[in-house]
Amino acid sequence: MKKIICLYLILQLCACSSVQRVDQDAAPAVERALLNETASERPNILWIVAEDLSEYLPMYGDSTVSTPSLSRLAREGICYDRFFSPAAVCAPARSSIALGMYPSRIGSNHMRTGPWFRSNLPQSVIDNYTKTQLPTGVHAYEAIPPAGAKMMSEYLREAGYYCTNNAKEDYQFVKTITAWDACGKEAHWRNRDQEDQPFFSIFNLEITHESQIWARAKDSLWVEHDLEVQVPPYLPDTEIGRRDVRQMYSNIKQMDAQVGDIIAQLEADGLLDNTIIFWYSDHGGPLPRQKRLLYDSGIKVPMIVRYPDQRQAGSRDGDMTSFIDLAPTVLSLAGIPTPEHMDGHAFLGEYRQDEAPSYVFSAADRFDALYDTNRAVRDYRYKLIKYYQTDKPMLLPVAYREQMPIMAELHRLKKAGELTADQALWFRETKPAYEFFDTQSDPHELHSLLDDPAYASKIAELKDALDLWQDRMSDPHMMEETEYIATLWPDGIQPQVTAPEIHRTGELISLSTTTAGASIGYQLVKAHSVDTTRWMVYTEPFDVSGETKVRVAADRVGYKMSPVVEAELD
- Catalytically active residues are 90
Spatial distance between the Cα atoms of 333 and 351, rounded to a whole number of angstroms: 8
- Cβ–Cβ < 8 Å for 273, 307: no
Question: Is the separation of the CB atoms in 229 and 41 below 8 Å?
Answer: no
Residue 65: CB atoms within 10 Å: 19
90-99 and 326-333 helices, crossing angle to 10°:
40
How far is Cα 42 from Cα 145, in angstroms, rounded to an integer?
29
Q: Which residues of 268-295 are buried (b: 16+ CB within 10 A; e: fewer)?
A: eeebbebbbbbbbbbbbbbbbbbbbbbb
CA separation for the pair 361, 549 (Å, rounded): 49
**From residue 202, how far is each of 75, 111, 262, 476 by CA, in Å?**
22, 23, 11, 30
State the amino acid at position 86 in one-letter form.
P
What DSSP string describes 172-198? Answer: SSPPPTTS-SEESTT--GGGSSSTTS-
Contacts 24+ apart (CB under 8 A), 470-473: 470/104, 470/375, 472/11, 472/14, 472/105, 473/102, 473/104, 473/105
DSSP 478: G
Chain centre distance of CA 83: 11
Q: Helix, strand, or coil here: 388?
A: coil
Half-sphere exposure of 249 (CA within 13 A, CB side): 21
Please tell me the distance from the alpha carbon of residue 1 to that of residue 317, in angstroms, as a whole number: 38
Under DSSP, the state recorded for 526 is B
Contact 405, 390 (CB under 8 A): no
- Cα–Cα distances in Å, from 317 out to 79, 81, 303, 544? 6, 6, 10, 49
Please name which of 167, 199, 166 lies closest in space to residue 46, comparing C-alpha atoms: 199
